[in-house]
Amino acid sequence: MSDILEKYKGNGVLEVDFKFIDVPGTWQHFSMPIDALDEKIFSEGIGFDGSSIRGFKSIEDSDTLLIPDTSTLFIDKFCKEKTLSLICDVHDTDLKSYSRDPRGIARRAEKYLKDSGVADTSYWGPEAEFFIFDSLEFSSNPIESYFKISSDEFKTIRNKEGYFPVSPSDTQQDIRAEMVKEMKDLGIEVERHHHEVATAGQAEIDIKYNSLVKQADNMMLYKYIVKNIAKKHGKVAIFMPKPIFGDNGSGMHIHQSLWKDEKNIFADENGYAGLSKEALWYIGGLFKHVNALMAICAPTTNSYKRLVPGYEAPVNLVYSKSNRSAAIRIPMYSKDPKAKRIEFRPPDPSCNPYLAFAALLMAGLDGIGNKIEPGEAVEKDIFELENEEKSKIKSVPGSLEESLNALEKDHEFLIKENVFNEGLIKAYIDYKRKKEIDYVRMRPSPAEFYLYNDV
């Protein structure tokens, strides 16, 4: 490590920044001058107050350590002074991985997969959508509550007609291209980018699949880049799932596959849509635990303003090839066995990617271990089914509260081999109920004034 540090000192680096993730899924950080950096930090860690981080420790046992992962270092171009940045793992003072560290949970999920013998690698391809607004104002206090979005695209792109327009309607080609360039410069492989269905600057940048922990790292860096490039241009990027009433929300469809000895075990040319029995059992596991999974994969009250039955939202718990009205789509673009995967469509980009990927993997492995059948595929446009036929198809939960109740009852599949743990599950549920559900439920909204001011 001393050689690396000397190299960066010689290249004019003045600061070192340490990033880590809290339980809800937001990066935290602190910095130091590079001259103050002691090599012992990389083996013995650097201390911080874990009780001040959401979902972490209580005050009577707050001493916590960060150990930087040297494989993650990059030059942070969004700092004025040249800064070397590293993603860190959270540890207790005995140097053991802290049980509530989301990155540690993701690491344990990868180990659980290898130890299971089912596969040795999982690959993840999230498709995150987001909005780039010209401006965003909001307030929430006892006597004032509002939000105001500004976007020139409201004038040029009609609701639900934002998919693939060219300029001048698509006003943000150059901003997305700059985001892509920054991602590529920092080692994230980008496959494509485009305007998404909604108006007001909805965008999608697709990145190439990667292993679980690495892809979760990439997603955090992805969001960091998107938000900072938007700010550079005087705009605001937001990953909230449903900021605009009456238009499409932002999802994060998650492509998944399992590999063993460099072979895709999800592929079988004789199976439905080219899927193996293991892939179908994996789907069965996702469906069995989907209500609990949604508390982690669609983790905000706002998530369920996107996941509304009866509209074009991925709420229908069926699987199907090439079918975007199903919760699980099997992409059919390629016949190459290496490309065979499943796409789970209900999640959104407000989730903590370390927790979401780990939870999906644990549910899928439970499906494989117990050979859970997913039922028959549905090859119809579910949005257009008659009510009687549609009523037979189950949906994802209708609220965060329902999802948290399900997680409270169904999390045994997550805590196998202490991948997740009871303490984290309880802390997560308590935080969401007290800090988010109650906060929203107890406050009057502008919509209620519109409906009830004259009663």
Q: Known catalytic residues?
A: 49, 127, 129, 196, 204, 253, 324, 343, 345
CA neighbours closer than 13 Å in the CB half-sphere of residue 171: 18
Q: Give me the residue label for tokens 């193996």.
A: 276
Are β-strands 135-141 and 74-76 bridged in parallel, bridged antiparallel, or unpaired? unpaired
Q: Which H or E run includes 144?
A: strand 144-150
Contacts of 151 by beta carbon, 8 Å cutoff, 6+ apart: 133, 134, 199, 200, 201
The residue count of the chain comes to 455
- Angle separating helix axes 290-297 and 353-369, nearest 10 degrees: 160
Cβ-defined contacts of 62-66 (< 8 Å, 24+): 63/93, 64/90, 64/91, 64/92, 64/93, 64/98, 65/90, 65/91, 65/92, 65/93, 65/95, 66/18, 66/20, 66/90, 66/91
Torsion of CA 279, 395, 105, 253, to 10 degrees: 70
Q: Which of 261, 264, 249 is nearest to 209 (CA)?
A: 264
Tokens coding 218: 């990439």
Amino acid at site 258: L
Cβ-defined contacts of 140-149 (< 8 Å, 24+): 140/443, 145/443, 145/444, 145/445, 145/446, 146/446, 147/243, 149/200, 149/243, 149/244
Are β-strands 135-141 and 263-264 bridged in parallel, bridged antiparallel, or unpaired? unpaired
d(CA 455, CA 453) in angstroms, rounded, equals 6
